[in-house]
Amino acid sequence: MTVLDEKPPTPAPPRMRATAAVRGRTARLVLLLAVLALLAAAPYIATVTTVLTLQEVAALAVFAVAANLLIGQSGLVSFGQAVFFGLGSYTVTLGWEHAGLSFWEGFALAPFLGAAAAAVVGLVALRARTLYFALITLAFSQLFYQLVEQDTGFTGGADGVFAPVVPAWMENPVDGYLTLLGIAVAALAVLRWIQGSNFGLLLRAARENRARVQALGTNVYRLHLLAFTISGAFCALAGAMFVVYNQGSNAELFDWTTSGQPVLMSVIGGMYSFSGPIVGAFVYQFGHDWLVRYVADWQLVLGAVLLLVVLLRPDGLVGAVSKPIRRRRAAEAGTSDEPGEASGD
């Protein structure tokens, strides 16, 4: 049957495979709805502190998934996504302060400015590969940080801009949170669609084997530039969302430590799945809030956790949970024990 192999292929019984796939999809849908219901109900069952952390997580989850479009999906480890996150935040606050834009006007503008900035940065950074790419993006991050921090007149310098930008009705933590939750769900749905699209498939293929995709007829530089631009747009959107929690913008948003956050979240949660960075955002943020209360050197614990994840579960927490499930399902269906990752979410 096979051109190059004598061993006859062993297709699984089609009915069993279909039911396993359907069962998997149903289980995922139920899980998704349960998590969404829980998140929507959170303001009525959790403390105000938790709701505020959830505000932060909503913005950071979008940030992490947008950054992971590059990190995990494309294999482009950017240490400069804070440029676009900060830009999104400052678009809202500076637009309010200097151009008289309302919160929502600035909010709508942020992704476009983020995309434009990313197209320019990407044009330069994508000329380099691997470590050099990471270093160039890091340099851009620090460049923006210095620019914003030093120019005290326009940007407010290191103090940033803290003003009543956010509409009054969103000042209430619960309303602010529910609004951010809605935006996050919509943004993540779009990102999920992009990842599942033909474009997303080509990104993964180029991550696996860049030269081969090139040889198959695709200009990988342009492919990556588009991914970088899309990621920049969503990072900026996340930055604009962050204003609701932060009540303003400060220079630290551009710092390389901010760029590092989505990288850490993606690694902890699992960068080869869609939900990995979201789980990472939850674990990182709640872990941080909990740790700082009890441990002075919380970074020490973070470092240890990261080491453990990288050494034991390179595919992150989501991989640790989903792989055994898939393996069992695959064993039942009699197919490969390691299906492609595209189905994973």
Nearest distance in Å: CB 4, other proteins: 4
**Percent helix, strand, coil in the chain (nearest 5)?**
80, 0, 20
Q: Does 216 bind other proteins (CB under 8 A)?
A: yes
Residue 142 vs 335, nearer CB to other proteins: 335
Binding residue for other proteins, selected from 11, 14, 100, 153, defined by CB under 8 A: 11
Question: What is the footprint of other proteins within residues 268-307 (CB under 8 A)?
Answer: 272
Question: Which among 302, 288, 251, 285 is positioned nearest to 59, based on CA atoms?
Answer: 285
Query: From CA 58, how far away is CA 146, in angstroms rounded?
Result: 27
Residue 177 vs 272, nearer CB to other proteins: 272
Residue 6 vs 153, nearer CB to other proteins: 6
CB 20 within 8 A of CB 325: no
Task: Single out the segment in contact with other proteins by CB under 8 A; choices: 114-122, 148-156, 170-178, 211-219.
Answer: 211-219
Binding residue for other proteins, selected from 147, 208, 310, 331, defined by CB under 8 A: 208
Q: Does 14 bind other proteins (CB under 8 A)?
A: no
Residue 326 burial (C-beta neighbours within 10 Å; 0-12, 13-18, 19+) = buried
Residue 162 gets which letter from DSSP? E
User: Total residues contacting other proteins (rule CB under 8 A)?
Assistant: 39
Residue 204 vs 269, nearer CB to other proteins: 204
For the four alpha carbons of 253, 101, 174 and 34, in that order, the dihedral sign comes to negative
Query: From CA 279, how far away is CA 274, in angstroms rounded?
Result: 10
Nearest distance in Å: CB 164, other proteins: 40
Q: Does 3 bind other proteins (CB under 8 A)?
A: yes
Nearest distance in Å: CB 195, other proteins: 12
Question: Which among 127, 126, 89, 129 is positioned nearest to 110, based on CA atoms?
Answer: 89
Binding residue for other proteins, selected from 116, 119, 143, 201, defined by CB under 8 A: 201
Nearest distance in Å: CB 106, other proteins: 29
Strands annotated E in 116-253? 161-162, 248-249
Nearest distance in Å: CB 269, other proteins: 18
Tokens of 35: 């998590």
Q: Does 223 bind other proteins (CB under 8 A)?
A: yes
b/e map 147-185, b = 16+ CB within 10 Å: ebbeeeeebbeeebbeeebbeeebeebeebbbbbbebbe
**Residues binding other proteins (CB under 8 A):** 1-11, 197-199, 201-202, 204-205, 208-209, 211-220, 223, 272, 335-336, 338-342
